Amino acid sequence: MKVTLLIPTLNEIEGVKTIMPRIRKEWVDEILIIDGNSTDGTREYLREQGFNVITQRSSGTVGAWWDGFEAATGDVLILFSPDNNSIPELIPLLIEKMKEGYDMAVASRYKDNARSYDDNLLTAFGNFMFTKMINLFFNGEYTDALVMYRAFRKEILAKLKLNKARDRLFEIPLSIRCLKQKLKVIEIPGDEPVRIGGRVSRAHPGLLGRLRGGMLMLYCIVKEIFV
């Protein structure tokens, strides 16, 4: 089983200097950085550290994922954020679950005693509400259906008919379609520490941005009922 760790970056110099030294290269077979044309030295720093950095061609975070999926050589893909939201030390635990035969392993921010230190009241309620909706509509048992930090088998992308043209959000359709196809999914508890650096607009989009994001999530969930 070959594992690829996918890391999108866009002006993340503070985060990568803090987080990347904690990632042991022997944990995975491939570490692939998808950079969205950073101007703060992120690309240069990562290349100096010996990481494979490709330039993002598609737009947005979902576009970065798909650029990474197409370039990755691993059988298992791990989505990782270099801004301190993802704890590097959980990588071996996710891989262990994949070796046990699961199709997807999710680092849940709300399982057992885990928590998100980046949450506010609005985001905490939104994550809770949308996860409950997914469980209700699709017979799931998720504690965190929206989190980005997860590992899954690359082959399920085709099986679940996910593609970048149709899905502006990636994690929600992935979570839902795993339930619809009755794939083997497990969660492990994983805290989400406070974000380091990066673009303020992406980390804290404001009330209007969060409401728009919530409406998009709701649309995505409802759409999956009819797919």
Residue length, the chain? Answer: 227
Burial of 59 (0-12, 13-18, 19+ CB in 10 A): exposed
Which candidate, 144, 140, 141, places its Cα nearest to that of 107? 144
Is the distance from CB of 46 to CB of 8 less than 8 angstroms?
no
Residue with the larger pLDDT of the pair 178 and 219 = 178
Burial of 49 (0-12, 13-18, 19+ CB in 10 A): middle
Helix, strand or coil for residue 53? Answer: strand
- pLDDT band (50, 70, 90) for residue 130: very high
pLDDT at 163: 79
CA distances (Å), origin 26, targets 43, 92, 152 = 22, 10, 19
Which candidate, 174, 182, 117, 123, places its Cα nearest to that of 145? 174
Residue with the larger pLDDT of the pair 203 and 220 = 220
With 60 as the cut, is the pLDDT of residue 146 above it? yes
- pLDDT band (50, 70, 90) for residue 208: low
Share of the chain above pLDDT 90, in %: 83
Helix, strand or coil for residue 150? Answer: strand
DSSP strand E in the chain: where?
Answer: 3-9, 30-35, 52-55, 76-79, 104-108, 150-153, 185-189
Mean pLDDT estimate for the chain:
92
- pLDDT band (50, 70, 90) for residue 164: low
pLDDT at 200: 39
- pLDDT band (50, 70, 90) for residue 45: very high
pLDDT at 95: 98
Token representation of residue 14: 């503070």
Token representation of residue 179: 């339930």
Match 């100096």 to its residue by tokens.
48
| Domains of the chain, CATH where assigned | 3-225 (3.90.550.10)
With 50 as the cut, is the pLDDT of residue 219 above it? yes
With 90 as the cut, is the pLDDT of residue 166 above it? no
pLDDT at 203: 44
Least confident of 21-35, 68-82, 137-151, 195-209: 195-209
With 80 as the cut, is the pLDDT of residue 135 above it? yes
Least confident of 8-17, 56-65, 87-96, 148-157: 56-65
Token representation of residue 155: 């082959």
Is the distance from CB of 164 to CB of 63 less than 8 angstroms?
yes
State residue 10 phi and psi, 5-degree precision.
-155, 100
DSSP strand E in 27-130: where?
Answer: 30-35, 52-55, 76-79, 104-108
pTM of the model: 0.93
3-state class percentages of the chain: helix first, strand second, coil last, to nearest 5: 45, 15, 40
With 90 as the cut, is the pLDDT of residue 145 above it? yes
With 80 as the cut, is the pLDDT of residue 206 above it? no
